C-alpha cells in the first residue's frame, strides 16, 4: 500500500522558503531534542487489502452471529456484488424526483425498466415507480378500489395477510368512514368458498395474499369471478420471487397486484430498506398512486423518458389527487431492477427453487424431532408453521435456537 503524501518535494521547498526556514528540521527547533522521535513510529507495517479484510472478519466474528429462522420478515438471499456497485453510482444515489426529464434520462430509464419488470412478473399492464413497502402498497390498493366503486365503504381483507399489513390498513382507515372487514382464516388459508357471504353492495374490493403469512401457497380458483360478480375489485399480494413458479396475479384474475421487492436484491438491515410494488389493469391506470415513468420520443424522434400522468398527482391536484403518496423508493427500485437484470429469469428460478428445497429439507429434519410437527396441510414455498406437543417442548426449542 502506498503512503499518502500530500506535498511534493518542490512544494515543500516553496513553503519553507515562503516562511524563511531552510529545512523542516529548522522548523521544529523549538521542540526539545529529547522529545524528538528516534527511528520509526512503533506501529505495525502496512497490510495488504486481503490482510485488512481478514483482520476485519476476525473482529466481526467476535460478535454473536446466529442463523435466523424467523418467518414473516426480511429475507436474506445471495445478492451479486455488482448490484450494490451499480446502485451506488453517484448519478443514482439521490432522493430527488427527476422532474426535469431532459437532464434525468438515465434515472428515468432505470425506473421505467423497473416498472416494466414488475409488469412482466405480475402480467398486469401498468406499474408505478414504487411505494414505501408492501404494507403501504396494500393501503394504496384499497384507495384505488374505493375510488373505483361509487358508494362503497368496505374493504375485505384476508386474515392470512401479513400482520403488519393488517395493522397498516387499520391505521390508514382510522378516522374515516372506511371499514376494514377481516375474513377469518380457515385451516391457515383463505376460505375462497365462503367469500360470497361477505360480498355485500358496499364492498369495494378484497385483498388476499399468496404465499400467505404462514408461507402457504393459496388456491384462488373462481375467486375473481365471485368478487367481480359483486362489481368489486380483487387485489393479490405476493412475494415477487414466488411469481416465477406460481400463478401471477393476472392469471388469478386480479385487478391489482401488490407486494414488496425486498427479496430481490435488498439486503436486510435492521428491518429495511423495503420497496413496495403495485401494478394494475389498464382500466385503473389513472387511479394508480405516485410517480409513473413513460416512454415517448423527443423532437428529434429519439426514444425518451418522462414523468407521465402527472395530472392525478398531489403536486397538481392537491386535495383531489389519487393519493397522498408523493414520494417513492426510487433507489431501492433501481436496486431491484439491477438485481433482476443481473440474475435474469433463469437465476430467479434457481433462487426460488433453492428456497423451496432448503425449506422442505428443514421441514423434514424438524419432523424427526420429538414433540415438533410441521404443519403440512397445504403446499408451502420458503417458510412454514410448526406446532409443539407442549409449551415445555416449545421453550426447549426456543432456548436452543437462541444459543
CATH number at residue 90: 3.40.640.10
Q: What pLDDT, in 10s, does the model give residues 167-184?
A: 999 999 999 999 999 999
Beta bridge partners of 235: 207, 256
The pLDDT-based confidence of 1 (bands split at 50, 70, 90) is very low
* pLDDT-wise least confident of 13-27, 113-127, 157-171: 13-27
Q: Same structural domain for residues 201 and 287?
A: yes
> Furthest-apart CA pair in the chain: how many Å?
96
Q: Same structural domain for residues 202 and 310?
A: yes
CA angle 334, 337, 338 (to 5 degrees): 85
Q: Same structural domain for residues 142 and 266?
A: yes
Q: Same structural domain for residues 283 and 397?
A: no
Structural domain contains residue 110:
yes
Q: Same structural domain for residues 394 and 372?
A: yes
Q: Same structural domain for residues 227 and 349?
A: no
Q: Which of these three, 295, 316, 340, is where a domain ends?
A: 340
pTM greater than 0.75 (yes/no):
yes
The proportion of the chain whose per-residue pLDDT surpasses 70, expressed as a percent, equals 93
Give the burial class of 116: count Cβ atoms within 10 A of its Cβ; 0-12 exposed, 13-18 middle, 19 or more buried. middle
Q: Same structural domain for residues 296 and 391?
A: no
Burial code of 324-348, b = ≥16 C-beta within 10 A, e = fewer? ebeebbbbbbbbbbbbbbebeeeeb
Q: What pLDDT, in 10s, does the model give residues 259-318?
A: 999 999 999 887 778 999 999 999 999 999 888 999 999 999 999 998 887 756 666 766
CA angle 208, 213, 216 (to 5 degrees): 85
Q: Same structural domain for residues 319 and 359?
A: no
Number of H helices, E strands in the chain: 11, 11
Domain that holds residue 370: 345-401
Comparing CA positions, the residue from 160, 215, 241, 246 lying closest to residue 374 is 215
Q: Which helix (H) or strand (E) element contains residue 126?
A: strand 126-127
Mean predicted confidence (pLDDT) in 72-95: 86
Cell of 24: 523542516
Q: Which of these three, 315, 340, 365, is where a domain ends?
A: 340
Q: What pLDDT, in 10s, does the model give residues 349-386?
A: 999 999 999 999 999 999 998 898 998 789 999 999 99
Amino acid at each position: 500500500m502506498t503512503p499518502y503524501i500530500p506535498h511534493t518535494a518542490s512544494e515543500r521547498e516553496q513553503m519553507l522558503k515562503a516562511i524563511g526556514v531552510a529545512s523542516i528540521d529548522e522548523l521544529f527547533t523549538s521542540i526539545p531534542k529529547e522529545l524528538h522521535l528516534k527511528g520509526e513510529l512503533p506501529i505495525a507495517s502496512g497490510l495488504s487489502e486481503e490482510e485488512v479484510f481478514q483482520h476485519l472478519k476476525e473482529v466481526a466474528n467476535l460478535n454473536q452471529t446466529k442463523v435466523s429462522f424467523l418467518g414473516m420478515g426480511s429475507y436474506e438471499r445471495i445478492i451479486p456484488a455488482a448490484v450494490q456497485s451499480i446502485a451506488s453510482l453517484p448519478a443514482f444515489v439521490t432522493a430527488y424526483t427527476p422532474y426535469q426529464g431532459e437532464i434525468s434520462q438515465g434515472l428515468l430509464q432505470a425506473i421505467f425498466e423497473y416498472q416494466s419488470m414488475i409488469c412482466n412478473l405480475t402480467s398486469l399492464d401498468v406499474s408505478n415507480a414504487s411505494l414505501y413497502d408492501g404494507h403501504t402498497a396494500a393501503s394504496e390498493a384499497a384507495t384505488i378500489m374505493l375510488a373505483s366503486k361509487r358508494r362503497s365503504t368496505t374493504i375485505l381483507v384476508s386474515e392470512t395477510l401479513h400482520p403488519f399489513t393488517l395493522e397498516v390498513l387499520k391505521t390508514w382507515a382510522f378516522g374515516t368512514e372506511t371499514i376494514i372487514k377481516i375474513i377469518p382464516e380457515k385451516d391457515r388459508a383463505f376460505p375462497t368458498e365462503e367469500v360470497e357471504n361477505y360480498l355485500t353492495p358496499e364492498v369495494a374490493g378484497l385483498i388476499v395474499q399468496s404465499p400467505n403469512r404462514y408461507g402457504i401457497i393459496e388456491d384462488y380458483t373462481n375467486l375473481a369471478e365471485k368478487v367481480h360478480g359483486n362489481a368489486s375489485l380483487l387485489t393479490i399480494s405476493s412475494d415477487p420471487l414466488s411469481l416465477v413458479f406460481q400463478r401471477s396475479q393476472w392469471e388469478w384474475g386480479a385487478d391489482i397486484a401488490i407486494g414488496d421487492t425486498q427479496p430481490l436484491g435488498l439486503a436486510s438491515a435492521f428491518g429495511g430498506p423495503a420497496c413496495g410494488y403495485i401494478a394494475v389493469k389498464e382500466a385503473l391506470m389513472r387511479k394508480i398512486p405516485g410517480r409513473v415513468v413513460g416512454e415517448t420520443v423527443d423532437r428529434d424522434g429519439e426514444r425518451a423518458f418522462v414523468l407521465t400522468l402527472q395530472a392525478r398527482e398531489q403536486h397538481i391536484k392537491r386535495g383531489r389527487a389519487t393519493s397522498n403518496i408523493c414520494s417513492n423508493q426510487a433507489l431501492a427500485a433501481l436496486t431491484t431492477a439491477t438485481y433482476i437484470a443481473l440474475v435474469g429469469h433463469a437465476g430467479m428460478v434457481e433462487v426460488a427453487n433453492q428456497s423451496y428445497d432448503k425449506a422442505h429439507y428443514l421441514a423434514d429434519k424438524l419432523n424427526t424431532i420429538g414433540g415438533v410437527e410441521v404443519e403440512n396441510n397445504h403446499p408451502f414455498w420458503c417458510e412454514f408453521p410448526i406446532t409443539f406437543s407442549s409449551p415445555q417442548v416449545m421453550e426447549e426449542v426456543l432456548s436452543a435456537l437462541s444459543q
